[in-house]
């Protein structure tokens, strides 16, 4: 059965958005609105799988919503909202907790990384994180999910959950008039430059909000001087840039900066090296800083403007919530019928 093309993606309101979030995810979300109906969600329920200061969480939720609008996502054409406002996400996640197997979740590398050595002390929510993510996507029966490379495994799990639901309830799905499959198998959209932006301090680690060093990442709200300084101090090697991509092998820091340049300029690593091959980092870093500032400072400015009026952001979220909830409740009605839970009356 053909499912209507629909894009869904989410971002956690945990601290500042950084260049990895921008290049790996939300910059792409902007382009997708031309071709698809899109739903973009600030996933506050995912955020609390690890401890969040309540006041900070509220602030971050509005900040991330502002960032989505500031980068150019049109909240009238698309849906922007925060996850906890639409309880159907949590409701479907429970059904999916009963579909997914312990063994599937045990294989998730993000859980292993985030739980670290002390797994016994990780929250149950952190373990079940991927089933909630599957519910986020499938409660809208979304078909395409633009994310960074790090989310690929979670997307595969979402497909496995959709598939097992469709199989386990095949008879009931058909009996309720939904054909042969109820949920689509959502596809990841991970392509082009900078699907995995690395730390500026260590080219083998991904750029992350949880890195203790501020110099490891560029935040969307950093000012021009901070951006230039972080790039000046970025770890590199003593060689000049190569003139072809093969020359980046074994030079993760150099490769990362070239990749960032390519993504920010809407070009490719090949093209960047054609132009900058042979350059020393003392010349390339300032060029990259200029480019980054020219792309990021308008976003930071627009975010500041939006955050000056939090009530307006709340209105955007409330409008998104109403439209999202209407779609999500329709799915939950179907799911209740399919699973054998009494319908709401």
**CB under 5 to 8 A by kind: which of ligand AMP, ligand TRP, none does 78 bind?**
none
Q: What's the angle, vertex CA 110, arms to CA 212 and CA 148, rounded to 5?
A: 85
**Residue of 21, 20, 24 lying closest to 12 (CA atoms):** 21
Residue 184 engages ligand AMP in binding (rule: CB under 6 A):
no
Phi, psi of 69 (to 5 degrees): -70, -40
**CB under 5 to 8 A by kind: which of ligand TRP, ligand AMP, none does 207 bind?**
ligand AMP
Which of 70, 145, 317, 338 is in the footprint of ligand TRP by CB under 6 A?
145
Minimal CB distance residue for ligand AMP = 24
Calculate the dihedral angle through the C-alpha atoms of 125, 130, 136, 141, rounding to the nearest 10 degrees.
-150
Instruction: Supply the minimum distance, in Å, between the C-beta of residue 239 and ligand AMP.
Output: 24
**CB under 5 to 8 A by kind: which of ligand AMP, ligand TRP, none does 197 bind?**
ligand AMP
Give Cα 34 to chain centroid, integer Å.
19
Q: Six-digit token pair at 316?
A: 């955007």
Q: Which of 152, 164, 209, 235 is catalytic?
A: 209
**CB under 5 to 8 A by kind: which of ligand TRP, ligand AMP, none does 21 bind?**
ligand AMP
Residue 78 engages ligand TRP in binding (rule: CB under 6 A):
no
Instruction: Supply the minimum distance, in Å, between the C-beta of residue 11 and ligand TRP.
Output: 6
Residue 24 engages ligand AMP in binding (rule: CB under 6 A):
yes
d(CA 65, CA 312): 11
Helix axes 224-232, 281-307, angle to 10 degrees: 150
By beta-carbon proximity to ligand AMP, the closer residue of 80 and 99 is: 80
**Residue of 6, 335, 342 lying closest to 173 (CA atoms):** 335
Strand order in the sheet with 7-11: 79-82, 38-42, 7-11, 144-146, 187-189
Which of 67, 138, 147, 220 is in the footprint of ligand TRP by CB under 6 A?
147
Residue 114 falls in the annotated catalytic set:
yes
**Residue of 301, 306, 296 lying closest to 23 (CA atoms):** 296
Residue 344 falls in the annotated catalytic set:
no
Residue 209 falls in the annotated catalytic set:
yes
Which of 28, 46, 159, 285 is in the footprint of ligand TRP by CB under 6 A?
46
Instruction: Supply the minimum distance, in Å, between the C-beta of residue 24 and ligand AMP.
Output: 2
C-beta separation of 59 from 44 below 8 A? no
Instruction: Supply the minimum distance, in Å, between the C-beta of residue 150 and ligand AMP.
Output: 5
Number of residues lying near ligand TRP (CB under 6 A) = 14
Binding mask 131-150 for ligand AMP (x = CB under 6 A): ----------------xx-x
d(CA 295, CA 262): 13
Residue 186 engages ligand AMP in binding (rule: CB under 6 A):
no
d(CA 207, CA 203): 9
**CB under 5 to 8 A by kind: which of ligand TRP, ligand AMP, none does 8 bind?**
ligand TRP
d(CA 47, CA 12): 6
d(CA 154, CA 108): 7
| Residue carrying structure tokens 């003139």 | 243
Which of 6, 7, 9, 234 is in the footprint of ligand TRP by CB under 6 A?
9
Per DSSP, which regions of 95-251 are E strands? 144-146, 187-189
| Residue carrying structure tokens 């312990």 | 102
By beta-carbon proximity to ligand AMP, the closer residue of 68 and 207 is: 207
| Contacting positions for ligand TRP (CB under 6 A) | 8-12, 43, 46, 133, 136-137, 145, 147, 151, 154
| Contacting positions for ligand AMP (CB under 6 A) | 11-12, 20-21, 24-25, 147-148, 150-151, 195-197, 206-207
Q: Among all residues, which ones are annotated catalytic?
A: 114, 206, 209
């Amino acid at each position: 059965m053909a499912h209507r093309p629909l894009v869904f993606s989410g971002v956690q309101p945990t601290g500042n958005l950084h260049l990895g979030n921008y290049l790996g995810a939300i910059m792409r979300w902007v382009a997708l609105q031309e071709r698809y109906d899109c739903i973009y969600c600030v996933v506050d329920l995912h955020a609390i799988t690890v401890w969040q200061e309540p006041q900070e969480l509220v602030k971050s939720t509005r900040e991330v919503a502002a960032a989505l609008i500031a980068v150019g996502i049109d909240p009238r054409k698309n849906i922007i909202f925060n996850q906890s406002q639409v309880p159907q996400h949590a409701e479907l996640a429970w059904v999916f907790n009963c579909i997914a197997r312990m063994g599937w979740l045990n294989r998730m590398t993000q859980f292993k990384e985030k739980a670290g050595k002390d797994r016994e002390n990780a929250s149950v929510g952190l373990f079940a994180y991927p089933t909630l993510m599957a519910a986020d996507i499938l409660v809208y029966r979304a078909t395409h999910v633009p994310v960074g490379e790090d989310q690929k495994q979670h997307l595969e799990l979402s497909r496995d959950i959709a598939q097992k639901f469709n199989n386990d309830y095949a008879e009931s799905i058909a009996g309720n008039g939904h054909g042969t499959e109820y949920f689509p198998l959502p596809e990841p959209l991970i392509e082009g430059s900078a699907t995995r932006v690395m730390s500026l301090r260590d080219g083998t680690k991904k750029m992350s909000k949880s890195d203790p060093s501020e110099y490891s990442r560029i935040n969307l709200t950093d000012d021009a001087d901070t951006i230039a300084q972080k790039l000046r101090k970025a770890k590199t090697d003593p060689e000049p840039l190569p003139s072809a991509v093969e020359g980046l092998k074994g030079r993760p820091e150099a490769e990362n900066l070239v990749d960032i340049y390519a993504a920010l300029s809407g070009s490719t690593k090949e093209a960047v090296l054609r132009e900058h091959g042979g350059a020393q980092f003392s010349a390339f870093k300032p060029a990259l800083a200029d480019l980054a500032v020219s792309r990021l400072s308008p976003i930071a400015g627009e975010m500041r403007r939006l955050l000056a009026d939090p009530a307006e952001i709340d209105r955007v979220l409330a409008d998104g919530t109403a439209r999202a909830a209407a779609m999500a409740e329709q799915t939950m009605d179907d799911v209740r019928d399919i699973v054998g839970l009494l319908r709401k009356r």
